[in-house]
Structure formats: structure tokens, C-alpha cells
Amino acid sequence: MADTRTIREQTFMSGLINDRFLIGKVIDEGLKPFMFRSRNARNLFRIVFQMYDSRSSDKLIDIDRIRKQLDRRNLLTDEMEQYLENVMDQKPPQLSEMIDYVDELKRQAHRIRLGQINTAITEYLRGDGQNRSMEISDFTGGLIRILQEMREDHIKEKLEPLKYKMYELNRELDAREKMDEEITVLGYSIAPLDALNSALSGIRKGFYYGLAGAPRRGKTNLSLELASRIVSNNQIPVLFYSWEQTTRTLSYRLLAKESQINTTVLQSHRVKGDRELLKKLQRGWSATEKYVNYLYIIEAGQKDAIERIKINAYNTMHEFEKEDIVIFLDYLQKIPLDRQIAETASKIDELSSGLADLSLELNCPVFAVSSIDKEGCKLDERHTSERPTMHNCTGSGDIEYDLDVALILTKDWIETEELDKQLHEMSKLRGIPDESVPRIDVINLYIDKNRDAPEGTSNVIQYLFMIDYNKFIEIGYKVKDQYMSTYHKAIQLIEDYNLLA
């Protein structure tokens, strides 16, 4: 009966044979044939890699083709036949398991090499072995070369001469000359949030985003808006972790924003029996169908530390056979750590640093929502001229140093009050009861940090926050001394979206 290590090796090989996506990922992680324990695994890996490297269009690497290649090299022994049967009997693992196994193989290979070095040194000191007559300078020089090779093998994927990257950039520049239009968004598009799309150049791979603000400013709702737009426009998987709300609650919020039906009404009324509500519901349902297959809303808990999030991300990428994924975390202060840290500031700093590393390791956008402290909440109140910044984030003022993009939501009290006044006057003229006037906040989104920002964009974007529908509608850039222009845009958007009916 095969031992656990043998079965694990065979399971790993099953993944390589059955999924080309997995082959590319483990090769990128630095897997080499010599790292496998068994001769059969080493030979099989060489064949599979050669077939993968031939760039065949086949999704699966056919087992019969593998047998032919092994036979051609006189490697198809009875022992190999039995090994292949055992491999094909195993269920292919997920990507996270494959990567863990590669790490284990690399550690095992290095330990074996270190053991061989230890034996060589012991024999040399005793005057035994094949190196006993070597000069000590030659002997130690050989050991140093071996150790250096091991070190280079361990970090090879991180060290590459700049010239290779410059060749890649040159190919991109050449390819761009053949395009009909210039590239205006470098990341994932979040249209129709066009001002934010332009200011950030889309939501970009490897970037760590932070969104902070006082309670009731719509941080979760704006995050859901961004998540759903990313999926709708780009058809890539998005993981949305929430430590505050259930999947049911957030699903209702998404349906409310798309259908423009009050969330409470959706959860308590006979919506399908009302002709007007049914029409809105059908429109909203149709809108959600653009992203429901790719958007995952996860009720997070104490088990969902950064390492688990990374594993889920790898497995989701594997499921969709895509290199692309986006992660939203609502919110930063509730993400658990794998170890206990008593001081809140130290805990938040470690979490933030870990999320920055995660965005680079997965080469994906990581979007963290953050609460702000009491002082920051006071700055967001009606009668203050100042506003909160990332330094007001609960537990730490150092988050901004980790971020590539820092976003702050605040309420524009003056414009909100003026808009509310005008809405009530308009509703009175139209015979609409006061209780039917929608609750709308004018929200300022401040872009306090924007790495590699495009030229000529403002750092403040205004939104209508439809509180009853959990929906953000973009007004545009806020420009000083142009209040009336902003106000007229807001009124026009309310008419366009038929929000006062």
C-alpha cells in the first residue's frame, strides 16, 4: 500500500496532467524535475513540461500522448505503467495545494543538498572521501559555489536583469502602435464611474487601495458598486469579504441599487404583486445577472486570516483558469491575525503590511475598507471646516504609507442641505408627499494618495448617495468656485434616474 508521501506526489502529478493552467503556475513557482522523490515522477514531469512548452492548443495533456512520449524515450516500463495508473486514479488538487507542495519539494531538495554538504565536510575533516586530497581553498570554494547555487535557485524568480523587462516593454510599445485607439485605463474599468475611472486609471493589478470614512457615509455600498462594476466590465472573479454583514443583507443591497427599490421594501413587501415594483425588480434582476457568476460575497469570521484569503484567491483563479482576481475586505480592523498581538496599532500595521504584500504576491488589486476614530468622525460633522484623513483610521496612522491609493469619503453638508431643500420644493410643485422624497447625501470622495496618477485630474470627486437604494451616482469632479455647476448636474442626474417620482 502506498504511503502518504507517495499518494501526495501522485495527486500532484494528476493535477499537472489534467490542467494546463496548473502546469504554468507551478513552473512559475520554481519547480524542477530533480526535486521529486521518485524517479517516475521526475521522468513524468519532464515529459509533461515538454508537452506544455510546445504550446499545444489542447486544454488537457492526453495520457495516451504521454505514454507515446515515454515509450519513445524507453521510459515506459511496467513500473511506470503502474505509476501512471495510480496517478490517473487520483483527484487533481486545487492550486493552493499545488503551490504548498512545490514549496515543500523545494525545502526538501535544499535539505538533501545541505545533508550532502554536511557529509562532504565530515569526510574531509576525517581525511576520507573523494575530496580528501583537495586543497582547503579548492574544497571550500566548491562548497561556496554549491551554496550560492542553492541561494540563487531559491530566489531566482525574484531576480531578473532589467533588460528582460525592457524587452517586454518594447514589445508592448510596438503592439500599441497597431491599436486603433490609445489606452486610457491601465487597470480594470469601473465605468460608468467615469471620473474615478480616469483619476485612478482603473483599478490596477498589484495596487493596495484603502477607503475610509465616518459611519453612514456609504463605504460598504461604494465598495459593492466598485466590485459589481469590475465584474460587469471585465468578467473576472471578485472576492468580497465582509466581517459586518451577511451575504443575504449585501445581496439585498445589490438588488436595491440596481432596481432602485428601497431595501426595506424589498425585504418586507409583496414586490412581485405590484406592477411598478415588479418592473423595477425585473430591471434590477437583469442588471445583477451581469456579475452574479463572478462575484463572491463571503461572510467572514475569525478563520479568515490573510493566509486563508490567499488560498481562496488561488483556488478561485484556478477554478476560472484566470490570472485575474480582485479582493475587497470590509473591513480592515476586523481581519484576524494568525497570532495574538495585544497592541491595536501594531496589529493594524501588521495587517496593512500583509495586505500590501498580498496585492503584490497575487498581482491583484486589494481593496480594504477602514473605519475612522472619534476625532475623524468629529471632523466629518456639519460645523467643522476640516475633514478626516487616513491618519484618522482606527488603530493606526501608518496605513497610508502602505497604500498605493488612499480614498476618503465625507459628507458635503452645505450642498446636501441645499439639494434637500430644492428636492422638497420640487416635490411640493409636483404633488409628491414629503415622506416620498428620497434621502440623498452629496458625498465628496477625496483621493489623498494616488500612485502613478494620470496628469490633469482633480483629487475630489462628488457623488449622489441614494441612501434608500444603497446606490452611488457620480456627479463628477468637484471644482472650486463652481458650486452652481455641480448643483445643476445633481438635479439633472435626479431627473435622469427618475428619482423624484
State the sign of the Cα–Cα–Cα–Cα dihedral 313, 315, 317, 319: negative
Give start-end residues of each CATH 1.10.860.10 domain in the chain: 4-157
Higher pLDDT, 19 or 227: 227
CA 119 to CA 110: how far, in whole Å? 14
Band (pLDDT 50/70/90 cuts) for residue 354 is very high
The DSSP letter of residue 393 is B
CA 281 to CA 285: how far, in whole Å? 6
Place of cell 469579504: 241
Give start-end residues of each CATH 3.40.50.300 domain in the chain: 194-496
Mean pLDDT of the chain: 86
Band (pLDDT 50/70/90 cuts) for residue 328 is very high
Contacts 24+ apart (CB under 8 A), 379-384: 380/213, 380/214, 380/217, 380/410, 380/411, 382/413
The per-residue pLDDT for 489 is 75
Residue 273 vs residues 252, 327, 491: alpha-carbon distances, Å: 18, 38, 31
Higher pLDDT, 164 or 411: 411
What average pLDDT does this structure show over 68-89?
A: 90
411 closest CA partner among 454, 372, 366, 451: 372
The answer to whether residues 80 and 41 touch, using CB atoms and an 8 Å cutoff, is no
The per-residue pLDDT for 485 is 57
For the domain 4-157, what is the CATH code? 1.10.860.10
Judged against a pLDDT cut of 70, whether residue 157 lies above it is answered with no
User: Minimum mean pLDDT among 48-52, 224-228, 358-362: which range?
Assistant: 48-52
- pLDDT 10s digits, 98-122: 888 888 888 888 888 888 888 888 8
What average pLDDT does this structure show over 71-79?
A: 89
Strands (DSSP E) contained in 325-459 are: 326-330, 366-371, 405-411, 440-450
The answer to whether residues 75 and 5 touch, using CB atoms and an 8 Å cutoff, is no
The answer to whether residues 278 and 269 touch, using CB atoms and an 8 Å cutoff, is no
- pLDDT 10s digits, 298-311: 999 999 999 999 98
The DSSP letter of residue 431 is T
For the domain 194-496, what is the CATH code? 3.40.50.300
Most confident of the following: 137-151, 414-428, 487-501: 414-428
- DSSP alpha helices (H): ranges in 389-450? 399-402, 413-430
Judged against a pLDDT cut of 50, whether residue 482 lies above it is answered with no
The per-residue pLDDT for 444 is 95
- CA-CA-CA-CA torsion for 390, 391, 396, 401, nearest 10 degrees? 70
The per-residue pLDDT for 483 is 46
| Angle 333-360-18 from CA coordinates, rounded to 5° | 110
| Angle 277-282-284 from CA coordinates, rounded to 5° | 95
- pLDDT 10s digits, 228-283: 999 999 999 999 999 999 999 999 999 999 999 999 999 998 999 999 999 999 99
- pLDDT 10s digits, 178-237: 877 777 788 999 999 999 999 999 999 999 999 999 999 999 999 999 999 999 999 999
The Cβ of residue 419 has, within 10 Å, a number of other Cβ atoms equal to 20
Residue 57 vs residues 52, 54, 322: alpha-carbon distances, Å: 9, 9, 16
Band (pLDDT 50/70/90 cuts) for residue 57 is very low
